[in-house]
Structure 1
Amino acid sequence: MWWFLKATLGSLLWVVYRPKVDGLEHVPDDGPAILASNHLAVTDSFFMPLVLTRRVTFIAKEEYFTGTGFKGWFVRTFMNAVGAIPVDRAGGDAANVSLDTGKRILTEGRLFGIYPEGTRSPDGRLYRGKTGVARLALQTGAPVVPVAMLNTGELQPIGRRIPRIGRVRIKFGPPLDFHRYSGLVGDRFIERAVTDEVMDALRELTGQDYVDEYAANVKKRQQQKE
C-alpha cells in the first residue's frame, strides 16, 4: 500500500505542489531516527512522508480514522498507508501511549515522526516544545533530525480543507546526537534542555519567530474569546 500510494498520490502531489526538498542526506539510510518537525498544517503529515524513500510513522489523532464520506475514506486510507497510528487525545494516557508507540518504532530501527509543539501553530510562529521528543531520544539513543515545513501554513491555513496550489518547501537539518546525556532519562532539567536544543535547531532551520509558551495554551485562550 505504501509504495502504491507513493506511485499514485505521491506522483500527483509532486506534479501539483512541486516540493522543493533540501537536506535529505541528513535522514539516515537505515537505523532509527526521530524526525522532529514544526507543524503548520494538516498536510505536513502528507508531504513529509512522500518525499522520503524510507517510511516514517506518525501518531495521528483518532478523528482522522473515523471520518465519513469520501473525504473520511480518503484521509483514513492515506493515514493507514503511511503508517500513522491513531491515538485518542482526549484520554488521560494519550501522551504515554504516543511515547510508548514511538519507542517501539525506534527500537525496531525505523523512523518516527513527531511534532514537539504538540499541535499546529495557531499563527505561524514556533512554540515551546513538549519534552516527549527528549524522552524518546534519551530512551532509545536515536538521533533527532529537525525538519522544517516552510510554507504549508500559507497553502493550508487553519480552517481550509484543501491546500492552495503552490510550491511546498521542506528542509531537513543535521541530526542532533544526545548520547552525552545517556542514563539521564527522567531528569526533567535534562529533558527540558534537550527539548530546547531541538526547538532552537527548528527555529534556525525555519526562520520562525519563537514563543516560549505552549501552543495549546494559546489556542485555548483563543477559543475562550470566541
Structure 2
Amino acid sequence: MQRATRTVVAPLARLIFQPVVEGRDHIPRSGPVILAANHLSFLDSVVIPLVAPRPVAFLAKQEYFRQPGLKGRLWRTCLTGLDAVPVARDGHRTAQAALEAALEVLARGGAFGIHPEGSRSRDGRIYRGRTGVAWLALTSGAPVVPVGLVGTDRIQPVGARLPRPGRIIVRFGAPLRFAATPGSPSGRLRRTVTDEIMARIGELSGQEPADAYNALSAGS
C-alpha cells in the first residue's frame, strides 16, 4: 500500500515542494531504525516517508482515521498508505501505549519516525526533546538517524488548512548508536541520550535552541 501511495503522491509532492534531500544514504536499508526529526508543520510526518528510501511509520491521531465523508476516506487512504499508526491522544496511558506501538514496529525490523519535541514549534525554535525517543533507542537497540527539516513551516504553517508551493529541505544525519539497556533505562540516561539526539537534529535544521519544553496542544 505504501509503495502505491509513494508512486502516486511522491511525484506530485516533488513538483509542489521541490524537496532537496541530503544524506539519504545514512538510512539503513533494512533492520530497525528510528528517524528522529524536528517538528515545524503537519507536513513533516508526510514528507519524510515520501523522500526516505524505505517505508517509515509515524504515529497519527486516531481522529484522522475517523473523519467522515470523502475527505475522511482520502485521509485514511493516505495515512494507511504511509504506514501511519493510529494512536489515541487522551488517557493517562497514551504516551506509554504510543511507545509500545513504536516498539512493535522496530521489533518487526521496521523504520519508525518520531518528533521528540512532541508538538510543532510555533516560533521556529527547536525545543527540548521528550525522553520517549531515548527509551525507544535504549530498549530496542535500534540506531537513531537525526533528521533536520527546513521550510515545512512556510509551506503549511500551524493553522493553515492547505499547503502552498515552496521548497523543503530534508537532511538525514549519520546514525547515532546507543547500547541497548536491559530493564528500564534510568531517567538520567534517557535525558542524556535525548539531549544528544536533539543537539544533532538542531545542527541539521539550523534552528535556534529553546531551553524549554514545547507546550502540547490538541492541534499538534
Where 1:102 maps in the other structure, the secondary structure is helix
Letter of the aligned partner of 2:154 in structure 1?
E
Mean Cα deviation higher: 70-79 or 26-35: 70-79
Counterpart for residue 91 of structure 1:
91
Deviations 1:86-142, CA, capped at 9 Å, x for gaps: 111112111111111111111111101111011111221111111000001000110
5 Å-filtered alignment, 1:180-191, equals 182-183=181-182, 185-191=184-190
Which one has a larger percent helix, Structure 1 or Structure 2? 1
Post-superposition offset of 1:73: 2.3
Post-superposition offset of 1:153: 0.5
Matched positions, count: 218
5 Å-filtered alignment, 1:25-64, equals 25-64=25-64
Counterpart for residue 2 of structure 2:
2
5 Å-filtered alignment, 1:17-28, equals 17-28=17-28
Where 1:142 maps in the other structure, the secondary structure is coil
Post-superposition offset of 1:63: 1.9
Cα separation, 2, equivalents of 1:37 and 1:202:
7
Cα separation, 1, equivalents of 2:211 and 2:66:
34
Percent identity for Structure 1 against Structure 2 = 44
Report if aligned partners of 2:62, 2:86 keep a CA contact under 8 Å in 1.
yes
Query: Once superposed, what is the RMSD of the aligned Cα atoms?
Result: 1.5
Where 1:190 maps in the other structure, the secondary structure is helix
Task: Please identify runs of 4+ aligned residues in structure 1 that moved more than 6 A.
Answer: none
- TM-score using structure 2 length: 0.94
Where 1:133 maps in the other structure, the secondary structure is helix
Structure 1 unpaired stretches of 5+: 221-226
Post-superposition offset of 1:196: 0.5
Where 1:210 maps in the other structure, the secondary structure is coil
Counterpart for residue 198 of structure 1:
197
Structure 2 unpaired stretches of 5+: none
Cα separation, 2, equivalents of 1:202 and 1:52:
16
